[in-house]
Structure 1
């Protein structure tokens, strides 16, 4: 059980850093604004995306947030990573960098799997 908690929190903290801390600290830089513009999205979309990423990443690391809310956060991040990959491939082609969101999606999948493993009814008996 201790190993499962370590795996869960490691994966979840990585998601928190990539999707909460980094966007919050860098969203207003020229590089971030150019990245959103490069993909063809308006600037307000980038701002809204940052707000939802920060709120979602906070929901993942706050233990009191459970159930449907956490499920929706995992789903939202999964959609974000899938559509980020599609956007990058559509604009930049099959560049290796285009597939980076899928790498983060794999880390999210580990967090999701271990979240359910730690919160399953059989674990409540221990």
Structure 2
């Protein structure tokens, strides 16, 4: 991995983690603005707890060493949550301002996933076999 890619990875991952932890805390605390937004989008308030917990667990999975398959699941969860947030805002007719946060976190998710180091990638059994033969 080049130094440039490592820097891109850690900057994107740092901001992604900060964004997910901060929004996860707000969701777990059921801050009034967050609860109002969830109601506006048509979701039950218990989704705040589910999303908050999964965001915290996802950040832990992305940041800790090893467990590459778990990291893949965390990135997938972030992608689904943020793309779902974008879609939800679009469906209810929210303006571009409401899309900024989810789109930023979605972009950071993709950048962090794409630039992750090889030791943080899930390698298939077939790939491991090929690598051992080379």
Q: TM-score range by the shorter chain?
A: 0.7 to 0.9
Residue of structure 2 equivalent to 1:107:
108
Does the 8 Å CA contact 2:41/2:88 hold for their aligned counterparts? yes
Shift of 1:108: 1.2
**Matching residue of 2:96:** 96
What pairs with 1:5-84 in structure 2 (closer than 5 Å)? Answer: 5-24=6-25, 26-27=26-27, 28=29, 29-64=31-66, 66-84=67-85
CA-to-partner distance for each residue in 1:52-78, whole Å, 9 max, x for gaps? 0111011111123x3211111111111
| TM-score normalized by the length of structure 2 | 0.78
Which residue number in structure 1 is paired with residue 118 of structure 2?
A: 119
What is the CA RMSD across the aligned residues, in angstroms? 1.8
In 1, the alpha carbon distance for the partners of 2:20 and 2:4 equals 24
Call closer, same or farther: CA 1:77–1:42 in 2, change over 3 Å. Answer: same
Length, aligned pairs only: 116
In structure 2, stretches of 5+ residues that fail to align are 124-134
**Alpha-carbon displacement from aligned partner over 1:58-101 (angstroms, at most 9, x marks no partner):** 1111123x3211111111111111110111011134x2124322
Higher radius of gyration, 1 or 2: 2
Answer whether contact 1:21 1:54 (CA < 8 A) is retained.
Answer: no
Q: TM-score, normalised by structure 1?
A: 0.82
Secondary structure of the 2:92 match is: helix
Range with bigger deviation, 2-11 or 82-91 = 2-11
